[in-house]
């Protein structure tokens, strides 16, 4: 919206103040995330830019904190970096172990949340669905109820049924937390869905499962995949449930960062944060591409 030529001086002032203000808000939003990237290459154990960094002296920068991600927790970090060293890192380094359990938990929680959530979204988007509103309210509530309450309840429940400190326990909890996101994204995709397409498939002799996999699924797939990504990120970023119900074996990346912030704060967590920022850039790009593809598939043009 450009400023019209007849705008008065005060209108101009408001207009430019507004624009500058928005600029500041954008800086506020993005600067903290970008600032960790250069800071993670700090050669000194500080959380601020050293003079050498500001003068772009190569000595002010180093990869030591990234190296620390690899070596922290290894049995013999000082050994020569041969095959044995790398297998030591793979098996014992704390961050690598955390990454492995994060991926395992995230993967299975995503599968569970996406499969159950997509089925439910299909049911919920049908007009004949009974008790639609209360059921929807229950299914969305894990997103709304404070995580500390969920974690406390799970702590009592898992202690009783023997799921404490097990992978299935954490996976089920994370799947529950991811389900609202799957429901919301998939039902949003189904809003514009033309149900006569499945009816046409059935009248042409397709069985319900053929109609679903050949007609419905390809059309709602972008929504399903972005729901799955949301569910994965929810699990990948979750720390409170892990703090309450996970055991020593299920330490995830956020849990490792939590330790890092709480106990021995060092720029190592900044380098871990930098890696995670790039992961989230990748996820955001994927989701945006899927959203555009979904709009194209459904014949919606971006305004």
Tell me whether residue 34 or residue 79 sits nearer to other proteins (CB atom): 34
Shortest reach from residue 37's CB to other proteins, in Å:
10
For residue 251, with 0-12 CB atoms within 10 Å meaning exposed, 13-18 middle and 19 or more buried, which class applies? Answer: buried
Choose between 80 and 261: whose C-beta lies nearer to other proteins: 261
Cβ neighbors of 232 (< 8 A, separation 6 or more) are 106, 107, 109, 110, 178, 283
DSSP class of residue 42?
Answer: B
Query: Min. distance of Cβ 248 from other proteins in angstroms?
Result: 16
Q: 78 or 303: whose CB is closer to other proteins?
A: 303
* Closest distance of CB 158 from other proteins, Å: 8
Cβ within 8 Å of residue 192, ≥6 positions away:
298, 299, 300
Work out how close the CB of 12 gets to other proteins at its nearest, in angstroms, rounded to a whole number. Answer: 11
Question: How far from chain centre, in Å, is Cα 244?
Answer: 20
Q: Which is nearer to other proteins, 89 or 139 (CB)?
A: 139
Minimum gap (Å) between residue 215 Cβ and other proteins? 16
- Residue 140 CB contacts under 8 Å (≥ 6 apart), including other chains: 180, 183, 184
The answer to whether the beta carbons of residues 201 and 215 sit under 8 Å apart is yes
User: Collapsing DSSP states into helix, strand and coil, what is residue 40?
Assistant: coil
Handedness of CA 59, 64, 65, 66 (dihedral sign): positive
Is the separation of the CB atoms in 188 and 222 below 8 Å?
no
Between 84 and 197, whose beta carbon lies closer to other proteins? 197
**What is the closest distance, in whole angstroms, from the C-beta atom of residue 214 to other proteins in the complex?**
18
Q: Which is nearer to other proteins, 81 or 199 (CB)?
A: 199
């Amino acid at each position: 919206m450009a400023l019209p030529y007849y705008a008065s001086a005060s209108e101009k002032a408001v207009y430019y103040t507004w624009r500058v203000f928005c600029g500041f808000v954008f800086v506020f939003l993005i600067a903290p995330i970008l600032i960790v990237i250069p800071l993670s290459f700090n050669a000194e154990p500080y959380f601020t830019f050293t003079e050498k960094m500001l003068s772009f002296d190569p000595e002010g920068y180093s990869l030591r904190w990234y190296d620390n991600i690899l070596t922290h927790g290894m049995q013999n970090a000082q050994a020569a970096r041969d095959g044995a060293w790398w297998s030591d890192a793979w098996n014992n380094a704390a961050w690598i172990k955390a990454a492995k359990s994060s991926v395992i938990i995230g993967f299975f929680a995503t599968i569970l949340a996406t499969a159950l959530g997509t089925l439910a979204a299909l049911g919920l988007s049908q007009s004949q669905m009974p008790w639609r509103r209360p059921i929807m309210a229950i299914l969305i509530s894990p997103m709304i109820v404070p995580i500390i309450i969920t974690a406390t309840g799970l702590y009592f429940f898992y202690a009783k049924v023997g799921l404490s400190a097990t992978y299935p326990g954490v996976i089920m909890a994370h799947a529950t937390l991811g389900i609202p996101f799957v429901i919301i994204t998939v039902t949003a995709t189904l809003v514009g869905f033309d149900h006569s397409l499945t009816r046409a498939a059935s009248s042409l002799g397709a069985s319900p499962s053929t109609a679903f996999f050949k007609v419905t699924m390809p059309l709602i797939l972008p929504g399903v995949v972005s729901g799955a990504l949301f569910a994965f990120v929810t699990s990948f970023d979750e720390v409170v449930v892990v703090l309450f119900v996970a055991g020593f074996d299920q330490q995830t990346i956020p849990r490792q960062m939590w330790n890092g912030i709480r106990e021995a704060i060092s720029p190592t967590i900044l380098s871990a944060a930098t890696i995670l920022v790039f992961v989230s850039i990748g996820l955001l790009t994927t989701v945006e591409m899927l959203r555009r593809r979904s709009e194209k598939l459904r014949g919606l043009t971006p305004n």
